[in-house]
Chain A
Amino acid sequence: MKPWVKWGAVCVLGVGLHQASAQADPLQVRSWAAGCANCHGTAGIAQPGMESLAGVPREELAKKLLDFKAGRKPATIMHQLVKGYTDDELQQLAAYFAALKK
């Protein structure tokens, strides 16, 4: 019995972690991401002079956004905008853009 209980606990913990980083409805994340399109282009493909976000690896984009938020990375405006989002929301946005085609 004991191993089963242990295994079950791990499973529950695993599910819990998974949900913590993917709790928002995918359509909700899509709408949040569309808010970035004004500067970074529809579906993350930017016009000249701005960085495209489509296809940027998740870890790289998440680190950048969290670094802006923590003041570790200097910016003109991004450090002010990312403070409007929770860390978890920024992680989900990074995952969303990473999955888009370049």
Chain B
Amino acid sequence: MQRRQLIQTMVAGSAVGVLGLTAGCASTGGATGPKVVVVGGGYGGATTAKYVRMWSDYRIDVTLVEPNAAFVSCPISNLVLGGSKTMADITTPYDNLTRRHGVRMVRDSVTTIDPDKRVVRLASGTELTYDRLILSPGVDFMWESLPGMAKPGAQDRVLHSWKAGPQTVALRRQLEAMPDGGVYALAIPLAPYRCPPGPYERACQVAHYFSKAKPRSKVLILDANDDVTSKGPLFKKAWADRYKGIVEYRPKHTAVDVDASTNTLKFEFNDDVKATVLNVIPSMRAGDIAVKSGLATANKRWCEVDFLTHESRAAKNVHVLGDSIQIAPGMPKSGHMANQHGKTCAAAVVALLTGGQPNAVPIYNNTCYSFVSDEDVVHVASVHRYDPTQKTMLTVPGSGGVSSAANELEGRYAWSWALNIWADTLA
């Protein structure tokens, strides 16, 4: 029988790490308060970890389990592909969550969840007990929808670059190595997927790079959807005005297979397309741990939650947020939205663990900026309010909208948005 290493021993072992905090923060060192385990250090999970600590006056013990050493932002990562930002620009360490907020970081991943015993087991074999578990595992890909991608080496050659990190760097290298006159093809899955306008922004960024460095090259967008899913007229205007002769948009192209050895994309109804650089964003679903744990009850893909608390509809004391959830109508899967989920969830978890009531009227705003060049930006915004009758978040009629045209002022606001949300999530 394996000995269980429970969180109490970890708390004792890491007490030194907590000593540097203020008196209020250090009060968690005794491990007598309620325990929250957060899984996933992206926009959703990191925000929740920080705000549970802040809003419990540092009385609730928070452990954040994340396999990556640092946070790498998906928003702005398309600018690394375009060449105007670097990986360093989009990378933030987790140090401040520990130093300023007393969040205990565990660099590991969760392999199983036992909601009856309220224990998660990590890849290292460590077990963590919790009073409330918060899952923000993002998305994983439905590789089964593209059988050829299972062949050895296929996923190294045909990249998704839809999780910022090594694949962002690798795709940039492929674009740099591509001879002028080549074709970059981008396959977009049917909605819903992470970041609705992201693929179209990516097309703009690659086209921007080509227009400067490889003007005879093409960007070919192969979209499974009937039309551009977000900011359509604004993106189409950018392609027509700024990238005429470079960008070609083909809707209703559902990719069904990839031959990575020849960079060929196969479709349900259309002719094969061969590209110099092939970038395939596969269909996606809730992160593996959520699916494996039986939480993805909507179409076996997404996790249904109570929008007042983000508690799973399938497991008690387990909360799910971010891109993994079954979205409410009109709610995008975005980092901004995951941060907003995190705050609603954090407030509810603090209330539930301290004898309070969760807030009755959650309101989320969504602000999404897309760079159509290295400077000019278009936005889409919306506000979502809890509807007690329908028990879901509904877009407030008359709220939100898009930019009237791409502009440089919003380019500056977009970069400031990034600096602010990174600080709000991680510092």
Q: Are B362 and A41 in contact (CB under 8 A)?
A: no
Q: Are A85 and B343 in contact (CB under 8 A)?
A: no
Selected from A28, A36, A47, A85, the residue in CB contact (under 8 A) with B360 is A28
Q: Are A81 and B381 in contact (CB under 8 A)?
A: yes
Bound CA–CA A32/B416 (angstroms): 21
Stretch of B11-19, B148-156, B195-203, B392-400 at the chain-chain interface? B392-400
**From residue 390 to 427 of chain B, which have CB atoms closer than 8 A to chain A?**
396, 398-401, 403, 407, 409-410, 412-413, 415-417, 419-421, 423-424, 427
Judge whether B383 is part of the interface by a CB distance below 8 angstroms.
Answer: yes
Contacts of A77 in B (CB 8 A): 367, 379, 381, 410, 413
**From residue 25 to 77 of chain A, which have CB atoms closer than 8 A to chain B?**
25, 27-28, 30-32, 34-42, 46-50, 76-77
Bound CA–CA A13/B413 (angstroms): 44
Judge whether A102 is part of the interface by a CB distance below 8 angstroms.
Answer: no
Bound CA–CA A47/B413 (angstroms): 11
- Beyond A80-B399, A83-B399, A84-B396, whether A38 also contacts B363 by CB under 8 A is no
Bound CA–CA A13/B421 (angstroms): 43
**CB-based nearest B residue for A29:** B359
Selected from B336, B339, B359, B417, the residue in CB contact (under 8 A) with A31 is B359
Q: Are B359 and A47 in contact (CB under 8 A)?
A: no
**CB-based nearest A residue for B425:** A38
- Beyond A25-B359, A27-B359, A49-B415, whether A40 also contacts B364 by CB under 8 A is no
**CB-based nearest A residue for B342:** A34
**CB-based nearest B residue for A38:** B421
Q: Are A80 and B359 in contact (CB under 8 A)?
A: no
Q: Are B359 and A35 in contact (CB under 8 A)?
A: no
Number of B residues near A (Cβ < 8 Å) is: 45
Q: Are A38 and B417 in contact (CB under 8 A)?
A: yes
- Beyond A49-B413, A80-B381, whether A39 also contacts B420 by CB under 8 A is yes
Contacts of A46 in B (CB 8 A): 416, 420
Q: Are A35 and B424 in contact (CB under 8 A)?
A: no
- Beyond A31-B344, A38-B339, A80-B381, whether A49 also contacts B419 by CB under 8 A is yes
Bound CA–CA A27/B362 (angstroms): 11
- The distance from the CB of A98 to the nearest CB of chain B, in whole angstroms, is 20
Contacts of B410 in A (CB 8 A): 76-77
Q: Are B359 and A39 in contact (CB under 8 A)?
A: no
Q: Are A38 and B424 in contact (CB under 8 A)?
A: yes
Contacts of A31 in B (CB 8 A): 343-344, 347, 359, 362
Selected from B362, B379, B398, B423, the residue in CB contact (under 8 A) with A47 is B423
Contacts of A47 in B (CB 8 A): 416, 419-420, 423
Contacts of A76 in B (CB 8 A): 379, 403, 407, 409-410, 413
Contacts of A27 in B (CB 8 A): 347, 351, 356, 359
Greatest chain A CB density within 10 A among B340, B351, B381, B409 is at B381
Contacts of A48 in B (CB 8 A): 416, 419
B334-364 interface mask toward A, CB cutoff 8 Å, 1 = contact, 0 = none? 0010011001100100010000100111111
- The distance from the CB of A29 to the nearest CB of chain B, in whole angstroms, is 9
Q: Are B360 and A81 in contact (CB under 8 A)?
A: no
Bound CA–CA A36/B417 (angstroms): 11
Bound CA–CA A42/B343 (angstroms): 11
Bound CA–CA A49/B410 (angstroms): 11
Bound CA–CA A79/B339 (angstroms): 22
Q: Are A42 and B415 in contact (CB under 8 A)?
A: no
| Chain B positions near chain A (C-beta within 8 angstroms) | 51, 54-55, 336, 339-340, 343-344, 347, 351, 356, 359-365, 367, 379, 381-385, 396, 398-401, 403, 407, 409-410, 412-413, 415-417, 419-421, 423-424, 427
Q: Can you name 13 extra interface pairs (CB under 8 A) apart from A31-B362, A47-B419?
A: A28-B360, A34-B343, A35-B365, A47-B423, A48-B419, A49-B419, A50-B416, A76-B379, A76-B403, A76-B407, A76-B409, A84-B363, A84-B384
The 5 closest A-B pairs by CB, nearest first: A84-B383, A49-B416, A84-B399, A47-B419, A84-B396
